[in-house]
Amino acid sequence: MTTLDPAMNRDTASPRREQRRALLMLILLMLVYAAVFWPSLASMAAIWWRSETYAHGMLIPLISVWLIIRKRSQLTRLDMGPDWTALIPLLGLCLVWLLGLAADVLVVEQMATTLILITLVIVALGRAVARTLAFPLAYLIFAVPFGDQLTPFLQQITADITVQALQLSGIPVYNNGLFIEIPSGRFEVAEACSGLRYLIASVAIGTLYAHLTYRRLRSRLVFIAASVLVPVLANGIRAYLIVLIAHLSDMKYATGIDHLIYGWFFRPGHAADVLGGQLVARSRAGNGSGAKHPFHGAPAGGAAALSGLCDFGCRAGDFTSDL
């Protein structure tokens, strides 16, 4: 008969007891958080529901939870316990939230609400857990509807790309701000033509894919940069091709409902970005150069499937503009 050492049992039970306490504390804090910040959370959800630009926000919390679940084996080995020093930034964030609420600035209120949630995890579970969950927690920031300020800037970039491409094509063009005139007609780069919704969703998808695929920070940053540049360039090319079709058809095509249909075929940029990155990742995984298999052993098509799901949400209403 083997005799178990009582001291060993106590050593094993103690960390588990601490983990249970930390998790219970986190649950209680989440209940209080939900009660206090429910109006701010509901305002974010309302924007996800009614705005095509931020429809992808519905998926962000689910993706974050999935990322956390993938790390459950690591979490069980960590020491969990409250980190009271995190109360200092928590109080600061609560103040920012109150200021945003008082000034009725939704983006400030909602960003503070999200950062408070992240900080509460640190308060309840400690820094070791926070380091392990750094990306899943930080990814929640993509759920905050922000970026509308970029619309005029993106409109101008789209207009500039369109004008340059028309000049290279030998088509006489006169540009007056966001208005483009050619012999066949006059076009306006409207707000919906800025490509903002496509850009935001692309960056969210690209950041997730880079995290899951690459080990090196440089590779991740390069891929994220491509996720920013590709949709901007693709949107400019899309606008140019629509103007070109309208010009060549003497304004018979690409000016009505078919404008929307053509838009779906002029946006291959993000798919090429993700699928190309996946092929490069597989190639590098084969020679051990720093990329890991997409989704850490998940099905090889998982990245493309997830990106397609998110991408559909940002494409669905992306072609309702003058261009």
Report pLDDT digits (tens) over 46-62.
999 988 888 888 999 99
In a domain, 1, yes or no: no
The confidence score (pLDDT) of residue 22 equals 84
The confidence score (pLDDT) of residue 133 equals 92
In a domain, 320, yes or no: no
- Measured from the Cβ of residue 69, the count of other Cβ atoms closer than 10 Å reads 10
Return the SS3 of 206. helix
Q: Which of 144, 172, 190 is the last residue of a domain?
A: 144
262-299 pLDDT per residue, tens: 555 555 544 555 555 555 555 555 544 455 544 444 44
In a domain, 292, yes or no: yes
In a domain, 109, yes or no: yes
Asked if 210 and 237 sit in the same domain, the reply is yes
If one compares 164 and 304, the residue with the highest pLDDT of the two is 164
Q: Is the pTM of this model over 0.85?
A: no
Q: What are phi and psi of 219, to 5 degrees?
A: -65, -40
The confidence score (pLDDT) of residue 289 equals 47
Q: Which of 144, 177, 195 is the last residue of a domain?
A: 144
Residues with Cβ within 8 Å of 171's Cβ and at least 6 positions away in sequence, in order, are 182, 183, 244, 247
- Please, what is the average pLDDT of the chain? 78
Once rounded to an integer, what is the mean pLDDT over residues 156-170?
89
Return the SS3 of 291. strand
pLDDT exceeds cutoff 90 at 259: no
Asked if 137 and 154 sit in the same domain, the reply is no
Asked if 185 and 244 sit in the same domain, the reply is yes
The confidence score (pLDDT) of residue 234 equals 87
The confidence score (pLDDT) of residue 62 equals 94
- CA–CA separation, 103 vs 257, rounded Å? 41
Return the SS3 of 299. coil
Asked if 41 and 162 sit in the same domain, the reply is no
Asked if 125 and 180 sit in the same domain, the reply is no
Give the number of domains in the chain.
2
Contact in structure between 147 and 196 (CB atoms under 8 Å): yes
In a domain, 323, yes or no: no
Residues with Cβ within 8 Å of 302's Cβ and at least 6 positions away in sequence, in order, are 294, 295
- CA–CA separation, 172 vs 165, rounded Å? 11
Q: Give the rounded percent of residues in the chain with a pLDDT score beyond 70.
A: 72
Nearest-CA neighbor of 118 among 149, 146, 144?
144
Contact in structure between 199 and 232 (CB atoms under 8 Å): yes
The confidence score (pLDDT) of residue 173 equals 85
Asked if 66 and 128 sit in the same domain, the reply is yes
Asked if 181 and 233 sit in the same domain, the reply is yes
In a domain, 322, yes or no: no
> Helices in the chain by DSSP H: which ranges?
6-50, 60-70, 72-75, 87-103, 106-125, 127-132, 134-138, 151-168, 196-213, 217-248, 257-265, 269-287, 302-315
Domain around 11? 6-144
Give the Cα-Cα-Cα angle 109, 114, 119 (nearest 5 degrees): 120
Contact in structure between 293 and 281 (CB atoms under 8 Å): yes
* CB-neighbour burial class of residue 302 (10 A; exposed 0-12, middle 13-18, buried 19+): middle
The confidence score (pLDDT) of residue 266 equals 52
Of 25-39, 77-91, 203-217, 241-255, the poorest mean pLDDT is in 241-255
Q: Which of 91, 121, 144 is the last residue of a domain?
A: 144
In a domain, 165, yes or no: yes
Asked if 78 and 190 sit in the same domain, the reply is no
In a domain, 16, yes or no: yes
Asked if 50 and 118 sit in the same domain, the reply is yes
Asked if 238 and 168 sit in the same domain, the reply is yes
Instruction: Look up residue 285 and give its two tokens.
Output: 């995984």
Asked if 128 and 165 sit in the same domain, the reply is no
pLDDT exceeds cutoff 70 at 202: yes
Asked if 121 and 168 sit in the same domain, the reply is no
pLDDT bucket at 3, cuts 50 / 70 / 90: low
Q: What are phi and psi of 186, to 5 degrees?
A: -125, 140
